Amino acid sequence: MKYRHLFFKRVFKLAITIMVVFNLPGVSFSQIVNDTAFLTEVVITASKSVQSMGNITQKIDILSAREIENAVTGNRNISEVLQNQAGLSVTTLSRNDANWGTYSGIGPKYSTFMLQGLPIDAFMDPMALDLAAIERIEVQRGPASVIYPGYLSQDFAGNQSPLAGTVNLIPKERFEKPLSRFITSFGSYNTLNGQFYHQDISKNTHYYAGISYEMSDYTNYGTPDSWLNMQKNPEYRKTKAFGGATWFSDDNKQKLSIFVNKTFHAGDAGRLYRGFDHNYGLINAGYSVKIDENVNLQAHFGYRTYDRTWQESRFNVIDSLLSNNGAVQHIVPADVTITINHGKAHVLTTGIDYQGADYLTFSDPLLGYDTYGNKSKAMQAGIFIQEELHFGKLIARGGLRGNYINNNIEFLNGGAPGEESKDWMKLLYSTGLRYNVMKNVSIFANIGNSFITPGLKSVGGTIQLNDTVNNGQLPNPDLKPEAGLGVDAGADILLPLDLLVSVRVFDITVDEAIVENVVSQNPSQTQSINAGKTKSTGIEFEVSQKYGEQFNWFANATFMKTSVENPADEDQDGATVPFSPEIVANAGFSYKAPFGLQITPSLNYNAGFYDSSSKTGRKKFVPGALVNAYISQSIINNDQTKISGFLQLYNLLNNEYEMPWQFKNTGFSFMAGLSATF
């Protein structure tokens, strides 16, 4: 392990040295773009302003509207759209449950999700948002903790940080013409899906709205003798409604936008008294103005509401209701950013951001009234500044963030907390370099840190510490905050015939890392613990090629080595990070025939991971190969109307692999339908 980390540190230092010692002839901003032909696509995530990928130090992937449309999401989760990207391991437990995958081998909460740059929940919102509202997805790999804050989620695995990267969902905002689309499909488990979408233009305002509904008998997604103990097909119903509008001033110097999403997710977990009813709401509003040729101001405001209720029933006896339970969370994020272009091509970005959050868990154990479990409020305020300097072919970036976080706890696990209020102040930093060596070669390196306070669910749990009957999370009031450091370096090379080859190495360390340990399988119980120091070291290889609009292919592989260093606990010391596989590989292609046939198959391979940092109590899961395919055939295609039939094939190998908490992949499924655009 020691020599492996030394190797990557030397690679990182070598990359920086190469950038510095190369001859740096002075060229303009436009020349940099032209000299890096394969990095000319525009992105906004790295600096909150429009830039070419050749002018940022970070590694960013872009998923277009076409790639999003062709993705097969067997569990209806946006994270599945990303599963073919290098460095990601997606573990979506079911259509009713979140993704517990990992980013760069360091756990599921170290890459945040955002909607147009404003943070959302990485566990719940990918289940709730409708992809029909999304124009493109930008995935930044590597630390992003200066420009963007962490997310104050108290539920699931708690607060989230962009230490390993961030995923930015970019909604639609500008249209060329009015359009309406209707999609209907039917598939496995008697799944019926209907979607309607409409977009239009009224003077300077571009607006859109959509609604989707899906119902299904679904199927048993538990392993044999699972704590889920399903006695029938679980019911599943999900309704998503969304709408958005963007107004542009006559001179295009001002832009005002709003986006609203509401999701109703109801059903049961396969038993009479295992029902659930989840309501998720989201509002995003933004305003930007170009003050002059060099100064731009933008402001965003958001509101997120997560209202989850579920039932608990007796296990292994005649069904009887034990309790009705719930968790309610409201989060308000906001930011103001000023971008200043100065010099020949330098960019200064500075701003402030804020988050307010409240969280409440309750239970009605058939007493006729609710009892509180956890109740708290949290606040986070930050100020940040980042400078990007362009010296010819060299781009140098450096930034600082000051963060203030305050937690106020009213109830903890049903009682008074030991410490009602606590606050932290932290200084975060991030720096990076990119050198465009020649027309088709570019190298980069980045470093940044992060800080995460424990979430209230992790501290207070959802059940009592001595509970041996109920499913849920055991409390751990002694949790400490965690601090992380991320480093990466890599190269992009464009070979003849538009063959793009990329490599990236990364090294991530988290002190006092909070990980989720599976304590019991029956009943299903977990507990958050500080696992000492966790480390993830890895290397990503990627290759892709495009032949116009007709054919493209890709392949990538990520090799990761993770470890837990906790000398105080022999059972943990030397274990691997939970949910982190050693190898993840992906491959696929997309072919579009002249007569309207499109075929897009993909292969995802996961070598396996453990569910706990306990060497004696952990269990290994080996997903192996997951093969999906999207097939469509155009039936009518003219200027007024487009009608096509499509087939989504999920898990073609029928690989019913086991997952944590006694969940399993349900095997092969399909959806077949028609799409009409007019």
Question: Which has the minimum average pLDDT: 243-252, 298-307, 357-366?
Answer: 357-366
Asked if pLDDT for residue 295 goes beyond 90, the answer is yes
* Mean pLDDT computed over 525-554: 89
Question: Which has the minimum average pLDDT: 25-39, 207-221, 336-350?
Answer: 25-39
pLDDT value, residue 633: 98
Q: How far apart are CA 428 and CA 399, in angstroms?
A: 8
Tokens for 445? 């390196």
Question: Which has the minimum average pLDDT: 8-17, 288-297, 558-567, 578-587?
Answer: 8-17
Question: Which has the minimum average pLDDT: 214-218, 316-320, 531-535?
Answer: 316-320
Query: Residue ranges per domain, the chain?
Result: 2-677
pLDDT value, residue 419: 67
Tokens for 87? 């460095």
Of residues 265, 278, 281, 280, the one with CA closest to residue 310: 278
* Mean pLDDT computed over 464-488: 80
Asked if pLDDT for residue 519 goes beyond 60, the answer is yes
pLDDT tens digit sequence for 159-180: 899 999 999 999 999 999 999 9
What are φ and ψ of residue 157, in 5° steps? -90, 5
* Mean pLDDT computed over 391-399: 95
pLDDT tens digit sequence for 45-58: 988 988 888 889 99
Asked if pLDDT for residue 29 goes beyond 50, the answer is no
Q: How far apart are CA 113 and CA 446, in angstroms?
A: 20
Question: Which has the minimum average pLDDT: 500-514, 525-539, 610-624?
Answer: 525-539
pLDDT value, residue 6: 47
How much of the chain exceeds pLDDT 90, in percent?
67
How much of the chain exceeds pLDDT 70, in percent?
90
Output the pTM of the full model.
Answer: 0.90
Asked if pLDDT for residue 615 goes beyond 80, the answer is yes
Of residues 143, 39, 9, the one with CA closest to residue 436: 39
pLDDT value, residue 364: 83
Long-range contacts of 568-573 (CB under 8 A, 24+ apart): 568/532, 569/532, 571/614, 571/615, 571/616, 571/617, 572/531, 572/532, 572/613, 572/614, 572/615, 573/532
Comparing 478 with 444, which gets the higher pLDDT? 444
| 346-34-545-396 Cα dihedral, nearest 10 degrees | -20
Tokens for 555? 């392949």
Q: How far apart are CA 233 and CA 211, in angstroms?
A: 26
Taking each continuous run of H as one helix and of E as one strand, the counts in the chain are 5, 38
DSSP 619: -
pLDDT value, residue 400: 98
pLDDT value, residue 521: 66
At the topology level of CATH, where does 2-677 sit? Maltoporin; Chain A (2.40.170)
Comparing 247 with 155, which gets the higher pLDDT? 247
Q: How far apart are CA 216 and CA 671, in angstroms?
A: 12
Asked if pLDDT for residue 62 goes beyond 50, the answer is yes
pLDDT tens digit sequence for 79-117: 999 999 999 999 999 999 999 999 998 888 899 999 999
Mode of pairing for the β-strands spanning 111-115 and 165-171: parallel
pLDDT tens digit sequence for 409-426: 887 777 777 667 888 999
Mode of pairing for the β-strands spanning 421-438 and 394-411: antiparallel
pLDDT value, residue 317: 61
* Mean pLDDT computed over 480-490: 93
pLDDT band at 21 (very low <50, low <70, confident <90, very high): very low
pLDDT band at 73 (very low <50, low <70, confident <90, very high): very high
Average pLDDT over the chain, rounded to whole? 88
* Mean pLDDT computed over 24-34: 32
Q: How far apart are the first and last CA of the chain?
A: 59
Of residues 179, 171, 172, the one with CA closest to residue 198: 179
